[in-house]
Every structure is written in C-alpha cells, then in structure tokens.
Structure 1
Amino acid sequence: MSPARAALLAAGVAWTAPNTLLGLLAGVAGIPLGARARLSRRERALVFQHWPWGPGGAITLGNVILHTGPDLDCPCSTYAHRAGHAREDAINLADHERAHVYQYMTLGPLFLPVYLLCGGISVRNRFERAADRYAATGRGWWPWPG
C-alpha cells in the first residue's frame, strides 16, 4: 500500500472513531452472550460474529461490524430484491458491509445522521443501494453520482 493510501486510510479510521467506539461498546456487550471478535483486514473492521441481538444479518458502526451469524462471508439478498422491486442475484454480506465501512470512513460522525435522513434501513436509502451495488460489482460504494 502506498504511503498516500495508508495516510487516507488512517485519516478515515480516525474520522469515524466516534462511530467505531459505539460499535466496540455494542460488540463487547455481546461477548458474555457468545459474540466473538476477529480483525478483518479485508473489511477494514473488527467483526463481532455470533452477535446475540437483532433480527439477523449485520450492522456496521464505523470500523466495527456486528454480525449475528458465524461467518460474514455469506450470501444475502439485496434490498431491492427483498422489497420485490427487482429480481437480483444474491450478493456477499461481507462486501455489502465493507461498503458501509468505506461510507463511514468518508463521512465520519456525519454518517449516522445523514444515513437516517436518507431513510434508515430500507430499500429507499441510497447508502443501502450503493452498498448492494458495491457488493454486486466491486464498484460504486459512494451513494451519490460523482
């Protein structure tokens, strides 16, 4: 990795540190109930697997991913597919959540308010659509056209 890329990565990690702290607190709270933490360089995140709360799936908070299952590297449906808006192939959950890590590292403490203003956890949310696009193609994690 080039020095410039490493500096950008470090800046993104620092910028989203308040969100990461929330994720760490939630992840550590799940450890007594079976959650296990592992560092994922690929996802640029600390992943808590077997996280004991929620309806299933994963949620990202900064550089922390809370996942209810045993392995983040698993297939999942896109938001549009689940909502019946499109018939799409399954995507990889790890890729989807990595897109959110990049979004957090770009917006830092602004991410959660902007994400909620864009519709929260729903097919209408451009952050979710961008994460699905990134998981399907490997490109386009940013939610606005450039």
Structure 2
Amino acid sequence: MRLWASPTSVLGLVAALVLLPLGARARRVDGVLEIAAMRRLPRRAWPFEAITLGHVIIGTHAAVLERLRTHEQVHVRQCERWGPLFLPVYLLAGAWQWARGRDAYWDNPFEVEARRVAGC
C-alpha cells in the first residue's frame, strides 16, 4: 500500500523540504511524517489547518497535528486505497458536490468519512 501511495507522498516530501529550512519541525508518528509548519503562524495564513499528501501530514502547528491526527490518518488510509488517483478523485468529488449546490469541502465523501471515523 505504501508504494501505491508513494507518488502522492513525494509531493508531501517536496513540501516538507520547502518548509523545513523555514523553521518547520518534523517527526514520525504512526508511520507517517508529520510536519508542524511554524511555531507562530498567523491564524488564517493558510486556507487549511492540516493537509495530507500520502504519508506526509502538514499542519500549521504541532497542536493542530495533535488535534487532527485521527482525521488526517483517515486521509492517509484513503491515499493508500486510491494511490496516485487520490488527489484527482478527491478534487473531482469536491467539484461534484459544488456542482450540485453543496459544499465542496464539508460534503466531499472523503472528508465525510474522515470526520465520521475521527468522531468530529
């Protein structure tokens, strides 16, 4: 499964390589590389608090990674299932929801599953 998810993980590693020289902190948790982007980041500097790219989870802060770990781990499993198709299918699922007059993020089936499993 890790090999199937590796193309998306490479994108996460590239993002990590950009963030680490800027002060980001990295640690391995449950077989996943977690990147806490910055210690002090303006609250709305990014359009998300955390994003999962294969086996790399990037969060705005360490506390965010702690709080969202279960949710983001669901996305890791989704990426293992979908492999290199994960990002395009995720985006298409959001676009489909938006085209139907629903919310592209909150109604995206990938996010619905992650919230259900994480209990949030």
Contact 1:56 1:69 in 2 (8 A): no
Amino acid in the other structure paired with 2:80: M
Matched AA of 2:58: L
Are the counterparts in 2 of residues 23 and 60 from structure 1 also a CA contact under 8 Å? yes
Aligned to 1:123, the other structure's residue is in SS state coil
Q: What 5-or-longer segments of structure 2 have no aligned partner?
A: 96-103
User: Offset of 1:56 from its aligned partner?
Assistant: 4.5
Secondary structure at the aligned position of 1:16 is classed as helix
Extract structure 1 runs of 4+ deviating beyond 6 A: none
Aligned residues: 106
The one of 48, 57, 67 equivalent to 1:65 is: 57
Higher helix share: 2
Structure with max Cα Rg: 1
**Is 2:70 the counterpart of 1:95?**
yes
Which residues of 2 match residues 89-128 of structure 1 at below 5 A? Answer: 93-119=68-94, 122-128=105-111
Provide the residue aligned with 2:11 in structure 1. Answer: 22
User: Quick check: 1:48 aligned with 2:35?
Assistant: yes
Among all aligned residue pairs of Structure 1 and Structure 2, give the percentage whose two residues are the same amino acid.
44
TM-score with structure 2 setting the length: 0.81
TM-score (norm 1): 0.67
Q: Deviations over 1:27-57 (max 9, x none)?
A: 110012111111111xx31000125762341
Q: Which has the higher contact order (CA 8 A, sep 6+)?
A: 2
Query: Is residue 2:24 matched to residue 1:35?
Result: yes
Q: How big is the alpha-carbon RMSD for the aligned residues of Structure 1 and Structure 2?
A: 1.8
User: Could you tell me how far apart the structure 2 residues matched to 1:20 and 1:27 are?
Assistant: 10
Paired with 1:56 and 1:105, the residues of 2 have a C-alpha distance of 22
